[in-house]
């Protein structure tokens, strides 16, 4: 019997460097895809939550109108005793929206209670009259203070702005959501031109009652010609213009 003298090199029992690099690359790819999927899911949930919030506010505004005869104003002197020479001598539309929906203006500038004539959520139009509201879920509403008065926030912590259509002028008031800033001009919270925004590239307004809006995930107002794109393409703003 002949002995088998063929040379057979011993195979290493561990991984080669190339094999390790391949495994690490695969793990990194899976982790990246997983993280991207989580980010997409989170973004989708936030956007869905923002849309649900907007619909809830719209329903609240309709109930407010049925109760009081009209939609809340979006411009005018503050009802909580601000003096005319302070930056907060009037409320913006964002302030009026939060007050109409929540009724939380319980303390005036002089720390007197019940500035809106009703303790806690809700408000009265006359002393000892009916308590109106709140018109949205107070417990889950997101708010922050601007000039000492609450405004509603979207899921990205941007103020939700409100404009009531000015039927006499046939347009929205551009400065309804401008904060007074004496000496430095107004601090503009809303779109650069709200009337162009409310037409969305068309010749007529999509709504002639009210506009509620926030700038969406990126915090920037969509404005073709300034932010690029065309209406309906890259617009990630939240509004009731659909």
The model's pLDDT over 154-175, given as tens digits with 9 standing for 90+, comes to 999 999 999 999 999 999 998 8
pLDDT tens digit sequence for 217-238: 888 888 765 545 666 555 788 8
- Greater confidence (176 vs 103) lies with 176
- Asked if residue 134 has a cis previous peptide bond (ω within 30° of 0), the answer is yes
pLDDT at 230: 65
DSSP helix/strand/coil, 212: strand
Give 157's contacts (C-beta < 8 A, 6+ positions apart).
142, 144
Specify the DSSP class assigned to residue 153.
B
Q: Report pLDDT digits (tens) over 21-80.
A: 878 888 888 877 777 676 667 777 777 888 888 999 999 999 989 988 899 889 877 665
Residue 13: predicted pLDDT? 60
Give the pLDDT score at 9: 59
Query: Which whole number is the average pLDDT over 82-96?
Result: 67
Return the pLDDT at 209: 96
* Continuous H helices in 69-211: 93-102, 194-199
How much is the pTM? 0.73
pLDDT at residue 139 in the model: 86
C-alpha–C-alpha distance, residues 144 and 153, integer Å: 7
């Amino acid at each position: 019997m002949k002995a088998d003298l063929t040379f057979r090199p011993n195979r290493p029992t561990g991984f080669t460097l190339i094999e390790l690099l391949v495994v690490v690359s695969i793990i990194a790819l899976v982790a990246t895809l997983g993280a991207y999927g989580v980010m997409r899911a989170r973004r989708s949930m936030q956007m869905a939550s923002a849309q649900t919030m907007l619909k809830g506010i719209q329903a609240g505004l309709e109930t407010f109108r049925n109760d009081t005869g009209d939609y809340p104003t979006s411009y005018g002197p503050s009802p909580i005793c601000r003096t005319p020479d302070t930056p907060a001598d009037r409320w913006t539309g964002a302030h009026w929206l939060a007050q109409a929906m929540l009724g939380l203006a319980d303390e005036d500038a002089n720390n007197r209670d019940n500035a809106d004539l009703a303790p806690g959520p809700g408000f009265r139009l006359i002393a000892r009259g009916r308590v109106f509201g709140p018109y949205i879920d107070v417990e889950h509403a997101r708010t922050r203070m601007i000039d000492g008065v609450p405004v509603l926030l979207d899921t990205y912590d941007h103020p939700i702005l409100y404009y009531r259509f000015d039927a006499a002028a046939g347009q929205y008031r551009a400065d309804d959501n401008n904060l007074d800033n004496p000496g430095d001009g107004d601090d503009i919270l809303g779109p650069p031109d709200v009337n162009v925004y409310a037409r969305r590239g068309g010749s007529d307004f999509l709504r002639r009652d009210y506009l509620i809006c926030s700038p969406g995930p990126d915090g920037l107002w969509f404005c073709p010609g300034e932010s690029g794109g065309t209406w309906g393409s890259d617009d990630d703003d939240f509004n009731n213009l659909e």
